[in-house]
Amino acid sequence: MTQSIRVAVSTVILTLRRTESGDAVLALPLVLRTREPFADQWALPGGWLTTAESPVDASARTLSETTGLAPSYLEQLYAFGAVDRSPTRVVSIVYWALLRQDDVDAQSEAHRASGRAPENVRWFDIDDLPSLAFDHAKIIEYALWRLRNKVGYSRVAHGFLPSEFTLADLREAYEAILGKSLDPANFRRQVEASGNLLPTDRFRTGSHRPARLYRYNTDVALADRGPLGPEETSIR
C-alpha cells in the first residue's frame, strides 16, 4: 500500500534579548504540544499546508495562530523530509525570520489583549533549549548555522536592530550570533571599511561618552533573494 505524504510548515523565529545579567542572547519561541505524537514536548510553531495557500502564507498563518507573531519577511530555510522524522510520512518546509525584541513585545502584547494568546508558548535562549519533538533540534541547529554563515556577507544582523544603532549595538548582535567575543577596535575597522554602514549626525548620550548612531546603507539588501520573485518570499 502506498503511504500518503503530508506537507507541513514550521518557522524558526529568532530575536535578541537581554538576560538578567544584561547579556544579549539569541532566543526563540517554542510551543508545548498537547497531543501525540510527542505530547508534552516542545516544538517549533507550525502546522499543515492547505491546498489554498502557498508555503510562505501557511508559515505566516500558523505562526500567527500559535504565537501571535507576524514578521514582515520570511525566508525559506530548508525542506526536511527524512523518512523516519515522524510516525507518519511528513515533509516539513521550514521558514525563518528575525525580529527585534520591541516588535516581539508589541505583537505579543496585542495577541494577549485580543484574548487569543495561548498558554503553551514560551521563549527559550538558544543555548538552553529543552528536549524537542521530531527533528526540531536539528532544524534549529541548521538555522543557527545558516545565520552564522550569512552574518559574514550580508546585513542580516540588522534584523535584530532598530533603524539607527551604535557600533556597540551591532557588535553585540554579532557576538550573540557567533557565540564569541569580538575585539571592538578590529570590529569597528571591518564594518566601517565594508561600506554597509552610513554614519548619522546623531549621538546616543548617557552615562558614557556620546556614541555616534549609524544606519545601514539601504542599497545593500537584508537578504539575497536570488532569482525568486516576491511571491516566493513575501507574505501576502
For 156-216, CATH gives: 1.10.10.10
Is residue 65 over pLDDT 80? yes
How many angstroms separate the CA atoms of 161 and 24, rounded? 12
- The yes or no reply on domain 6-152 and CATH 1.10.10.10 is no
Residue type, 166: T
Q: What is the pLDDT of residue 2?
A: 61
Least reliable range by pLDDT among 66-75, 107-116, 132-141: 107-116
What mean pLDDT, rounded, does the chain reach? 88
Q: Which class for 204: exposed (0-12), middle (13-18), buried (19 or more C-beta within 10 A)?
A: middle
Mean pLDDT across 170-190: 93
Domain edges within the chain: 6-152, 156-216
Rounded mean pLDDT, 81-93:
94
Cell of 111: 495577541
Averaged pLDDT for residues 162-183: 93
